[in-house]
Amino acid sequence: MDQGSNMGGYASVPAPDNAAATMPTGASTAGAMPPVNNVQPNIPVPPMATAGIQQKKSSGLAETIVLIVVCLIAAAAIVFAVYFFMQYNDLKNDFESQKSVAVADAVAKQQEEDNAKFAEEEKQPFSKFTGPSDYGSLSFEYPKTWSVYVESDGTNNSDFVAYFRPGQVDPIDDESSRYALRFIILNEQISSVQRAYDSNVTAGTLTSSVFNADNSKITGTKYVGMVGDNMDGISVLVKVNDKTAIFQTDSQVYAQDFETLLTKLRRNS
């Protein structure tokens, strides 16, 4: 290219890399692009969007409250269920315990009744006892389960003494022995024998009443109460010629059998 051609136009000179940095002071920047800042624009939220957010928050709070209430109700229901179950279990156990006690009592009562019935049946048939003929031949019937011991048979004008008791007769010299029946015939007038008994009636330890048996063939006096030392029983005094017959039970335990025996009392002479 010749020199004339270059003179007729602009020379092409490449721009330096730091052209912007070497721009003269006071040079105009009106045509330059503003620098880009990394800041989000403050875009206003539409009113409808704000209301939706608040509505969602209110709804979430209500659901939380409802959930808490449901949980509390469920917890209370569980507590009451456990409480009532425990009460029911206690009542059931108490009922079962009372039922067991009632059954045991019923069984024991039935066993007692059966034993008593068996004991009464074992007394049958009654045995008959007759005293010495010289002493009026008094006779009576007593349970066959009783044993008898005649200490003195009335010979040689002595007293007649016999002891009766269920099973084995206890030693007669033991003051603690108690007999279902003492059958005694004393060689004494009934009036003298009665004095000791009547004094106890006056003292209040005995009560007395008229006694009759065998269609009034046998008469006497019946005493109920303390018939001896620590003996709460029954004594019947009967006149036999010039003698006195005594029928005595030492304990109220034998009272029923004793009363039955008195109804079977007979005089054979």
**138 in a domain, yes or no?**
yes
Which of 69, 93, 122 is the endpoint of a domain?
A: 122
Residue 237 contacts residue 246 (beta carbons within 8 Å): yes
Domain that holds residue 131: 127-267
61 and 193: one domain? no
Residues near 20 by beta carbon (within 8 Å), at least 6 away in sequence: none
pLDDT in tens, 25-65: 444 444 445 555 555 556 565 555 566 666 666 777 888 88
**Alpha-carbon dihedral of residues 7, 12, 13, 15, nearest 10 degrees?**
150
- The reply to whether 90 and 194 lie within a common domain is no
In angstroms, rounded to a whole number, what is the distance separating the alpha carbons of residues 186 and 195? 14
Query: Cα 39 to chain center, whole Å?
Result: 88
| Cβ atoms of residues 211 and 220 within 8 Å | yes
| Under 8 Å between Cβ of 154 and 167 | no
| Residues 118 and 132 grouped into a single domain | no
- Tell me how far apart the 2 most distant CA atoms of the chain are, in Å: 202
Q: What is the pLDDT tens value at each position of the chain, 269 positions in all?
A: 444 444 444 444 454 444 444 444 444 444 445 555 555 556 565 555 566 666 666 777 888 888 888 898 989 999 988 888 888 888 888 888 888 888 988 999 888 888 888 888 888 889 999 998 888 889 999 999 999 999 999 888 899 999 999 999 999 889 899 999 999 999 999 999 999 999 999 999 999 999 999 998 899 999 999 999 899 999 999 999 899 999 999 999 999 999 999 999 998 86
Domain boundary among 64, 97, 122: 122
Residue 185 to residue 38: CA distance in whole angstroms: 143
* Shared-domain flag, residues 176 and 218: yes
CATH number at residue 194: 3.40.1000
Domain total of the chain: 2
